[in-house]
Amino acid sequence: MAAGPDAYLQGNIRMTLEDPELWRTFHEIGTEMIITKPGRRMFPHCKVNLTGLIPCAKYILLVDMVPEDGFRYKWNKEKWEVAGKAEPQPPCRTYLHPDSPAPGSHWMKQSVSFLKLKLTNNTLDQHGHIILHSMHRYHPRFHIVQADDLFSVRWSVFQTFTFPETSFTAVTAYQNTKITKLKIDHNPFAKGFREEGTNKKRRPNKSPSCLEKRQKMSDMRDSEEENPQDFLHSSYEGYDGDEAELPKKKEVDDIKEERYSPWTAEREHRARTESPAGADARDLYNAEQLVPAPASYPLYRFHEYGKSPSPSSSVSSSNGGSERGSFESRVPDVATVPDHDSSKPHDVAGPSPCGPQHLPGPQDYPGVLNMTVAQAGKPGVIGHHIYSPYNAEQPLGQWSNPGPAQYPPPHHLTADYTAQAVHHGYHHGNVAEWSQYPLFSYSCW
């Protein structure tokens, strides 16, 4: 274990999402992310804060994209509808933060941005972008691994974090005009398309026709587009559930964790019914993590939305939970957690008790790992259906015959996803299996 004797003792790590309000604004409508052949950045982009790391221990930060479910969607009449089963999972890639590996102090001293992460629909992409299918839903997962170098990753403990409001639909062209407007309003690169912007030439001429076209396509545009209630009501009707009962936005605020998007509502429904932990359904800050335990290395997952279910959640609660989505990892089965108090501010900029550190500057090797993506198909359950690109509703047999082998076949699928999650986080015995799909078999830095 590259990280030394304390490698198993990664407790109290807390990850908070930067700019959660913006994410929620998008999520309320139904975030869409453009994917292009050359690769497209996300907006909003993923930016997180970390605390609770061991300042002198080195960590690697990774992001991958997990299918939200096993469906393909289509945009029909101002709402998303299920359009069939999801397509086979594209080559699974994980984005490695370019600073990796870096000491905990480095990660904690400022927010960690994944600005340069790009999404593509080009399954033959050679640039290391994360490959997604259009019209499918995904959510990013953030992994933090205590490891001295990239090659130690596969032997180390993964701690995984997700934020429900970061889920999105991958598209090649925006479907929802509300999302387009939000992007234009918030993305500085799109300033030229703002109504009040300096661009007087393009918008006035083209915008109306565009809207007209979309109007034609949507066939049932509401005359009052700005009504959020109407909007929420109209969106995602294919997954309606209890959409009609959505409270008005003002009312939603108090319980926005529960309903701030139809997607969330849908996920939550599943969480409510399927979570073995019986987590408070309102706390939908889905958090996934792989936590080591002495014997079985079970996975722990709980729901947090604006607050942590752990006693130490006062931190996140106090900072509002409205400012940042946050997640604090726990190591419930490991008693010997390193004694670092994550609740107190980290003066990581100060002298490190670890002696001189090599603080790698932003290194120019952002890359991807060809890890097989875990599947959080059942939000209420531990999300790590490792190696299964689909949730339980999907026939696993699909992967026993991987077809034309454009995509690497996953590891064998077992019913015990806990064990697989362990497999993911730890690599204890099944060397042969791992060696089939080396962690770094596809890297592009």
Give the total residue count for the chain: 445
The CB-of-221 to DNA minimum distance in angstroms stands at 13
φ/ψ (deg, to 5) at 303: -105, 135
Contact region with DNA (CB under 7 A), list: 116-124, 161-169, 237-245, 371-379: 116-124
114: contact with DNA by CB under 7 A: no
Q: Which member of 191, 248, 412, 428 binds DNA (CB under 7 A)?
A: 191
The CB-of-63 to DNA minimum distance in angstroms stands at 16
CA angle, residues 74, 303, 376, in degrees to nearest 5: 45
197: contact with DNA by CB under 7 A: yes
The CB-of-82 to DNA minimum distance in angstroms stands at 11
Q: If we measure between CA atoms, which residue out of 106, 198, 101, 225 comes closest to residue 152?
A: 101
The CB-of-362 to DNA minimum distance in angstroms stands at 9
In whole angstroms, what is the distance from residue 109 CA to residue 53 CA?
11
37: contact with DNA by CB under 7 A: yes
229: contact with DNA by CB under 7 A: no
Our CB check for DNA shows the closer of 10 and 175 to be: 175
- Between helices 20-29 and 177-186, what is the axis angle to 10°? 160
In whole angstroms, what is the distance from residue 22 CA to residue 337 CA?
34
Give the DSSP letter of residue 98: T
188: contact with DNA by CB under 7 A: yes
CA angle, residues 433, 434, 435, in degrees to nearest 5: 95
187: contact with DNA by CB under 7 A: yes
184: contact with DNA by CB under 7 A: yes
Tokens 């079970």 belong to residue: 298
Contact region with DNA (CB under 7 A), list: 165-173, 269-277, 348-356, 371-379: 165-173
Our CB check for DNA shows the closer of 44 and 103 to be: 44
Residue 139 bridge partners (DSSP): 66
116: contact with DNA by CB under 7 A: yes
The CB-of-364 to DNA minimum distance in angstroms stands at 9
40: contact with DNA by CB under 7 A: yes
The CB-of-444 to DNA minimum distance in angstroms stands at 14
110: contact with DNA by CB under 7 A: no
Chain-centre distance for alpha carbon 40: 16
In whole angstroms, what is the distance from residue 164 CA to residue 158 CA?
19
Our CB check for DNA shows the closer of 83 and 396 to be: 83
445: contact with DNA by CB under 7 A: no
Q: If we measure between CA atoms, which residue out of 124, 132, 116, 111 comes closest to residue 33?
A: 132
Chain-centre distance for alpha carbon 336: 29
Q: Which member of 127, 206, 412, 428 binds DNA (CB under 7 A)?
A: 206
In whole angstroms, what is the distance from residue 75 CA to residue 238 CA?
10
189: contact with DNA by CB under 7 A: yes
Which pair of structure tokens corresponds to residue 225? 């587009």
How is the chain split among helix, strand and coil, in percent rounded to 5?
25, 20, 55
427: contact with DNA by CB under 7 A: no
Contact region with DNA (CB under 7 A), list: 37-45, 95-103, 241-249, 281-289: 37-45
Helices (H) and strands (E) in the chain, counts: 11, 18
CA angle, residues 240, 381, 140, in degrees to nearest 5: 75
151: contact with DNA by CB under 7 A: no
Can you list the pairs that 107-111 forms with residues at least 24 positions away whose Cβ atoms lie under 8 Å?
107/50, 107/53, 107/59, 107/61, 107/144, 108/49, 108/50, 108/51, 108/53, 108/55, 108/346, 108/348, 109/346, 109/348, 109/349, 111/18, 111/47, 111/48, 111/49
Q: Which residues inside 322-351 make contact with DNA, applying CB under 7 A?
A: none
Our CB check for DNA shows the closer of 8 and 43 to be: 43
Q: Which member of 6, 22, 36, 240 binds DNA (CB under 7 A)?
A: 36
What is the torsion angle, in degrees rounded to the nearest 10, for the CA atoms of residue 291, residue 388, residue 24 and residue 122?
130
The CB-of-414 to DNA minimum distance in angstroms stands at 32
199: contact with DNA by CB under 7 A: yes
Q: Which member of 21, 110, 149, 202 binds DNA (CB under 7 A)?
A: 202
Contact region with DNA (CB under 7 A), list: 159-167, 193-201, 307-315, 404-412: 193-201
Q: Which member of 207, 318, 343, 435 binds DNA (CB under 7 A)?
A: 207
The CB-of-363 to DNA minimum distance in angstroms stands at 13
* Residues binding DNA (CB under 7 A): 34, 36-37, 40-41, 43, 45, 74-76, 83, 116, 118, 121-122, 133-135, 171-175, 180, 183-184, 187-193, 197-199, 201-202, 205-207, 209-210, 213, 217
